[in-house]
Amino acid sequence: MQTRKLYYEDAYIQDFQAEVLSCEEAKNGWAVILRATAFFPEEGGQTADTGELGGVRVLDVHEKGGRITHLTDGPLPVGGTVRGRIDWPERFRKMQTHSGEHIVSGLAHSLYGYDNVGFHLGQDGCTIDFNGELTREQLNDLERRANEVVWRDQTVRARFPSVGELKELDYRSKLDLTEDVRIVFIDGVDMCACCAPHVSSTGQIGMIKLLDFMRHRGGVRIWMKAGPDALADYGARYAADAAISAALNVPQSDIAGGVEKLAAQRDELKRELAGLRKAAAEARAAALTPTEGNMVLFADGDEEVLRILANAGMAKCGGVCAVFAGEDGAWRFVMASKTRDMRAFIKENGPALQARGGGQSQMISGRSGAAREEIERLFQ
């Protein structure tokens, strides 16, 4: 016996009563099947509804062969009638986002001929995959057109056309469906096969925001939010802009320019610092005391600084000159010697230094995970 799907009869049902047909202990709770349910299962890229059922929590919902199984955190009496309550704010958020996705996908199909080939709706908005690439300018236009549909407050309808009628409809679908096909209609915008609950009019979506995009499998993946998710995202970004504006002491409208100016100043300071470190390394190299044994040095600088010291130390020691920069567990090094094959040296002593590196027979570079005292002990 298939479960009666109350969410098809009315997507706005939040509270219902139904008979418990079965309840069996499962791996992470109890698997409960009802005669009827308003809980939408995980299906079509959308995560399942949660809520309460007879005083226990509904953690997940799945459908197989027309029977919908509710995973709960407690058992329910078989044959009894229980009351179900859906976590409505979460369900309505998904309805808003999913209906918004239909608008975006329908417009992308009509404007650019692209198909929606991937969709996932979770706890933080949704992703949409199209089989063609879009530019930022095209996405901005797509977002504007999608919100115009929201502002028009168009009716959203869902029904099961007859087999004959279905053959005449030019609808979007990822699968080759032939019967029991539920079509969601937004006049002039989209006609798509879909199993999920939707809002009754586009105005209830509130707003649609296309946040980001990337190339994906020859097409594009878009991150989208709608309704309260889009509003919350805007609030978070506004707060971040305000904080940056205050830190840079520039108007919010000019924070990009302020950041660019700060980045330019940083780059100039980095160049000056690199020059000072190089000069300091050259002065230190000139002052190194010759030794017949090994020489180990710790410095502050990039690889150029390490090589300046390693070259100078190699000329003034009879063994290996090893120069390290960083901290315990995360050292960068350059090692050099006139008398030792450094490739053989690192192969022999790499385990003790927790080091990996490579280079020429006279000089190698790499990284070490050892502590400073371990390094000093090895080169004594």
Per-residue confidence in pLDDT tens, the chain, 380 aa: 899 999 999 999 999 999 999 999 999 999 999 999 999 999 989 999 999 999 999 999 999 999 999 999 999 999 999 999 999 999 999 999 999 999 999 999 999 999 999 999 988 789 999 999 999 999 999 999 999 999 999 999 999 999 889 989 999 998 777 678 999 999 999 999 999 999 999 999 999 999 999 999 999 999 999 999 999 999 999 999 999 999 999 999 999 999 999 999 999 999 999 999 999 999 999 999 999 999 999 999 899 999 999 999 999 999 999 999 999 999 999 999 999 999 999 999 999 999 999 999 999 999 999 999 999 999 98
**Does some domain include residue 248?**
no
pLDDT in the model for residue 122: 84
What residue type is assigned to position 11 of the chain?
Answer: A
- Cβ neighbours for 367, distance < 8 A, ≥ 6 positions apart: 330, 331, 332, 333, 355, 356, 357
Gap between the Cα atoms of 60 and 117, Å rounded: 25
Task: Indicate whether 201 and 134 sit together in one domain.
Answer: yes
Token code pair at residue 225: 């939010």
Q: Do 73 and 109 reside in the same domain of the chain?
A: no
Do 96 and 73 share a structural domain? no
Count CB-CB contacts under 10 A for residue 123: 9
User: For residue 177, what pLDDT is reported?
Assistant: 72
End of a domain among 42, 70, 86?
86
Q: What is the distance between the alpha carbons of residues 309 and 284, in angstroms, rounded to a whole number? A: 8
User: 32 has which bridge partners?
Assistant: 23, 70
Residues 43 and 104 in one domain: no
Provide the domain limits for residue 140: 92-234
Which of 86, 116, 145 lies at the terminal end of a domain, its last residue?
86
Closest by CA position to 339, among listed 367, 313, 365, 372? 313
- Looking at the fold, whether 230 and 97 belong to one and the same domain comes out as yes
CATH number of the domain residue 31 falls in? 2.40.30.130
Residue 364 lies in a domain: yes
What pLDDT score does 1 carry? 82
Last residue of a domain, one of 234, 265, 288: 234
Which pLDDT value is given to residue 174?
A: 81
User: Is the domain of 31 the same as that of 156?
Assistant: no
Residues 123 and 228 in one domain: yes
> Has residue 256 been placed in a domain?
no
284 and 367 inside one domain: yes
Domain tally, the chain: 3
For the entire predicted model, the pTM comes to 0.80
Same domain, 67 and 45: yes
- Give the C-alpha separation, 374 to 206, whole Å: 62
The pLDDT of residue 124 is 79
CA–CA separation, 330 vs 311, rounded Å?
22
- Please check whether residues 197 and 323 belong to one and the same domain: no
Cα–Cα distance for residue pair 124/120, rounded to 1 Å: 10
Distance, CA of 245 to CA of 298 (rounded, Å): 40
User: Do strands 36-37 and 4-5 pair parallel, antiparallel, or not at all (unpaired)?
Assistant: parallel
Of the candidates 37, 44, 39, 45, the residue with the CA atom closest to the CA atom of residue 3:
37
Residue-level pLDDT at 363: 97
Q: Are residues 74 and 97 in the same domain?
A: no
